[in-house]
Amino acid sequence: MLRHDTALVLHLPGSIYRYKGAGRERDRGFEGAIPSLQFWLMDRWWVMGGVGLTLDAPAFYDVKSKDEGKFHLGPSVTLGTGFEVFRAGRFVVDVQGRGHYGTARVPEGTRKGLAFNLLAGINWYQGR
């Protein structure tokens, strides 16, 4: 927590997709490492946004050769909101909606990914 109503968080979104380009068909991950600010608009309602790095990476369980293990990078953004439905001290359960958009430069050009998620969050806040 930076202040009582603001937190610095690291958002790590990820999705698996089926790659059908050069070589054999295989799984890859479209992921991100996004430093974000989370701000409470009201006592239990928060919004979050951040800018970071997209990673288009091999799925660790599906690499058969050195050529399949290449990582590709690009910019990434995330936006989200959540509502805390249960609190017990520093422990919180919330319902979240999050969006992630990123691009990565791959051998075939630019890969773009967009994901929207509805999540249940289990959080422990230190110093809140």
Distance of CA 52 to the CA centre of its chain: 10
50 Rama class: left (phi>0) / alpha (psi -120 to 50) / beta: beta
Instruction: Give the domain ranges of the chain.
Output: 6-124
Name the DSSP class of 107: T
Which of 98, 74, 88 is closest to 9 using CA atoms?
98
**pTM exceeding the 0.85 threshold for the entire prediction:** no
98: its two tokens: 């999050």
Q: Give the pLDDT confidence of 27-82 residue by residue, as tens digits.
A: 989 999 999 999 999 999 999 999 999 999 888 888 887 777 788 999 999 999 99
Which residues pair with residue 7 across a beta bridge? 38
121: its two tokens: 């969050």
Q: pLDDT band at residue 87, thresholds of 50, 70 and 90? A: very high
Contact between 15 and 21 under an 8 Å Cβ cutoff? The reply is no
- Residue ranges with strand state E in the chain: 6-11, 14-19, 26-40, 45-58, 72-88, 91-106, 109-124
